[in-house]
Structure 1
Amino acid sequence: MPSHLSGLDLSLARVDPTRGPALYAITTDSDGERTFTYWRKDSAARQMFALADNADVLAAGDKVDVLYFSMISLAILPPEGREIVFDLCVRVRDGGGRVAFDSNYRSALWDSEKAARAVHARAITLVDIGLPTREDELSLTGLDDPVAIDRSWRERGVSEVVVKLGSGGCFANGAIHPVPAPVAPIDTTGAGDAFNAGYLHARVSGRSIKDSATAGHTLAGYVITKRGGIPLPSNDAPYAVLG
């Protein structure tokens, strides 16, 4: 873990003195597609906003460049925790920052599809950069066409939408941006997160949407050729070319 955290500013990270991290097991098939088994009920993340020293973390919202969260972030939180996330979105935007949101839907984490749809619909109204995946949007909204997904998010105020299409690349800014070099996946865990990281890093660094999509695809392509969602640092990692 220390090697993964190297170079990160952890000044706003908090440690729960009574709860531990969540645990999940990943099973992959011959194509690298994965299924998960979760043990998250009593994880520290579920009560992240209940810690006594959170005031300074929340107060920093108007000083950040980008706030990123996902449907999984919202799924594991109690209702009051979700409200804090939504309030934080407003604070970040009021301070001149941008909010990015990935609508990754994991049905096992929600009490019902209806509840997930309601949270999904509200979250979209509070973000600037949308990072939906076509299969998740199909499950939550019935939309399968990337143009329709893009339009749906933009109609609710999202100014920048990137619809992830798996091996088909992504749809952004009115065009399909293909994967630059197809790879043979070993484990697709973390592919979407890696794309988001590469894309957002490039955008924050001033790159165009097209170049940022390439950065996202490049990082995702690297991650899915390794075991696990967060590969150990290695000499073939493409981090140096992402920004």
Structure 2
Amino acid sequence: MTKLISIGECMIEMSALEDGLYKKGYAGDSLNMAFYARAFLPETASVDYFTALGDDAESQALAASIKAHGIGTDLIRILPGKAPGLYMISLEDGERTFSYWRSTSAAKEMAQDLSYLTQTFLGDNALFFSGISLAILQPETREQFLDVLSKAKAAGQQVIFDSNLRPSLWQSRDEMAEWTAKASAVSTMALPTVPDEYVLFDEKSSEHVAERYLTAGCREVVVKAGPEAALLTDGSQREWVGPAAAVQPVDTTGAGDSFNGSYIAARLNGRSMVEAAQFAHKVAGHVIQHRGALVPNIQSLVR
């Protein structure tokens, strides 16, 4: 693997401060993952972001911010007349709620060009996408998007999926379940989170979740459970790995994304599943002690 490509939507983030003020930033699950993967992969490994932006000032500033994090922006499609989506975070006792404005986001059209998808994704690349990446696409382009990922899997590429279930982005529960199942079938690694998966698929345990992804064709599954132990399996071995110590969260924004990015980086660096999960828990534990999804200089905090 010479390049990790993260596929999804980066939005303008407005996070609450005091006295009704907000701080502007740029984030999104797939970008957050790329940020943490970039932090822990060697410089010789490229991390690129695939999305679509507009030609407005905020799109330009967003792209500049991505590039400033060391993440490649050459794969970003620029769509004239479009703009990024926006969301606001409200915090209470360390837990967050979101309000979104994304109906006209340029990223919804990032998978329109089949030839560009094929040219970009196929090759010596590892590919990451999430349920959010899939949900925001126009319905007619989801199928061709997954078809290209299926070709990548067949060619021996790593295709990594975090279901990251967001019911508000789907027309119905059945639609979300259908496309989540289709996404798992084209993936080699899955990073789902409970209890969301329990609700969607009427399952009762992490073991049931893991078995469903293995049956779909994933070769490696990490069932995350927040501060509880994650279940790791490749079909032959099964391990439970939890955080080394309990942490009092300040802001849980980006917890799962930082786990994903650091786990993926550790696996691409040759660490075992158990070592990668231990490292990912450690990174996520530091992240939730800071405000915001992206924690600067995270490498210096993780020893």
Query: TM-score higher than 0.5 here?
Result: yes
Matched, 1:94 2:154: yes
Q: For structure 1, which segment, 76-85 or 5-14, has the greater mean C-alpha deviation from structure 2 after superposition?
A: 5-14
Superposed displacement of residue 4, structure 1: 4.9
2:107 maps to amino acid: A
Question: Counterpart of 2:36?
Answer: none
Structure 1 counterpart of 2:188, from 128, 147, 154:
128
Higher relative contact order (CA 8 A, sep 6+): 2
Aligned positions of 1:185-200 closer than 5 A: 185-200=249-264
Bigger proportion of residues as strand: 2
Q: Post-superposition shift, 1:215?
A: 2.1
The equivalent residue for 1:106 is 166
> Measured at CA, do residues 182 and 236 of structure 1 come closer, stay the same or move farther in structure 2, by a change above 3 Å?
farther
Instruction: State the distance in 2 between where 1:114 and 1:94 align.
Output: 27
Displacement of 1:91 in angstroms is: 2.4
Deviations 1:14-59 (A, max 9, x none): 22322111111111221x12111111100011111236xx744531
| Structure-2 change in CA distance of 1:10 and 1:177 (3 Å) | same
Cα distance in structure 1, aligned partners of 2:81 and 2:65: 25
Partner residue, 1:49? 111
CA deviation after TM superposition for structure 1 residue 122, in Å: 1.3
- Secondary structure at the aligned position of 1:165 is classed as coil
List runs of 5+ in structure 2 lacking aligned partners.
1-61
User: What secondary structure, in the 3-state scheme, does the structure 2 residue paired with 1:63 have?
Assistant: coil
Contact residue 103 and residue 136 of structure 1 kept, 8 A: no
Q: Is the 8 A contact 2:111 2:117 kept in 1?
A: no
Which of 203, 224, 230 is the aligned partner of 2:267?
203
CA-CA distance at 1:163 after TM superposition: 0.2
- When residues 81 and 228 of structure 1 are mapped into structure 2, their CA distance, relative to the original with a 3 A threshold, is farther
RMSD (Å), alpha carbons: 1.9
Residue of structure 2 equivalent to 1:144: 204
2:78 alignment counterpart: 15
Extract unaligned runs of 5+ from structure 1: none
Aligned-partner Cα distance in 1 for 2:209–2:117: 33
Paired position in structure 1 for 2:279: 215
Native 8 Å contact 1:191 1:223 kept in 2 = yes
C-alpha contact (below 8 Å) 1:137/1:144 kept by paired residues: no
CA distance in 1, matches of 2:100, 2:204: 28
TM-score (norm 2): 0.72
Task: Verify the 8 A CA contact 2:111 2:145 in the aligned structure 1.
Answer: no
Structure holding more helix per residue: 1
Aligned to 1:28: 91
CA contact (8 A) 2:117 2:148 kept: no
Runs of 4+ aligned structure 1 residues displaced above 6 Å come to none
